[in-house]
Amino acid sequence: MPLVPASSIVDAAREARVGAAAFNVIHLETAEALVTAAERTGTPLILQISENCIRYHGSLLPITRATLALAEDSTAHIAVHLDHITDADLVHQGIAAGVGSVMVDASALPYAENVTTTAELTSWCHARGVYVEAELGKVGGKDGVHAPGVRTDPDEALAFVRATGVDALAVAVGSSHAMHERTAVLDKDLIAALRAALPVPLVLHGSSGVPDDELRRAIAAGMTKINISTHLVSVFTHSIREILTANPALVDSRKYVKPAREAVAEEAARLLGVVTTPAAEPELYAAQASVRG
């Protein structure tokens, strides 16, 4: 099936008041597992390739071309997206390779520089029909350091969207990258305020640390794109660790990677159900949006 644009997945989810699942690719095995999950559930999925992933593989093209090939050969509706890209050259390379959306991450810069950098790359991307996500209010957790309570201000976020022209915005509402326990509690009132203030979809980074019910409440409050990476990486690693512990003489990597790939497919399929099932409390979403709007 031809690739679908991330914009179509995100916009349809926002309209339906459900989540749009965006799961990160680490290597070919996880990409295969994620595509399998989308096919089993019949659920659209955004496959994300981060700058860290690109660095791990040594360059953009091998993992990106492999992921694009899997997406194009799949029976599911799959988009391929570049995630947390700080290097403009990687944006240019990814789009030339066929990627249709990108997260321009200038969030570590001072606000004015974030605006300038993001606006310039967004203009370049839009001229080529590419959908752009950005981040405001730095989501912590890189390299295991959790966020120190940073929150995105709705008024500043609106000014940022207007100044940059981005199509979606990752906001800081209490999640953190690289969490290994699903214990995060999100600021649902802030999510509702951001949803009411902004004309673009909201993106939740660091969703691996957010439990299922909290994800559902966040989506009900107005979050749309849900990014998950670390949790699925943990599933893959836990499976391999268990197999090698039970079979220390095992040397054929296929015999432990294959069941790990299946474990990721199963958990990704389960999470697709969590993220894309309509909220059980839509009145909460409506009430919060009307109060904040």
Name residue 146's amino acid: H
**Residue of 11, 83, 105, 167 with catalytic role:** 83
Q: How many residues does the chain have?
A: 293
Gap between the Cα atoms of 200 and 132, Å rounded: 11
Q: How far apart are CA 231 and CA 207, in angstroms?
A: 9
Active site residue 83: yes
> Using CA atoms, how far apart are residues 53 and 225, in angstroms rounded to an integer?
20
CB burial string 25-55: b at 16+ within 10 A, e below: bbebbbbbbbbbbbbebebbbbbbbbbebbe
How far is 83 from 173, CA to CA, in rounded Å? Answer: 19
Number of other residues whose CB lies within 10 A of the CB of residue 98: 15
> What whole-number distance in Å separates Cα of residue 247 and Cα of residue 255?
10
Is residue 19 within 8 Å of 223, Cβ to Cβ?
yes
- Residue 129 is classified by DSSP as T
Six-digit token string for 7: 């914009």
Ramachandran quadrant class, 132 (left: phi over 0; alpha: psi -120 to 50; beta: rest): beta
DSSP-derived secondary structure for 182-200: ------HHHHHHHHHH-SS
Alpha carbon 255 to its chain's center: 30
Q: Could you give the residue numbers annotated as active site?
A: 83
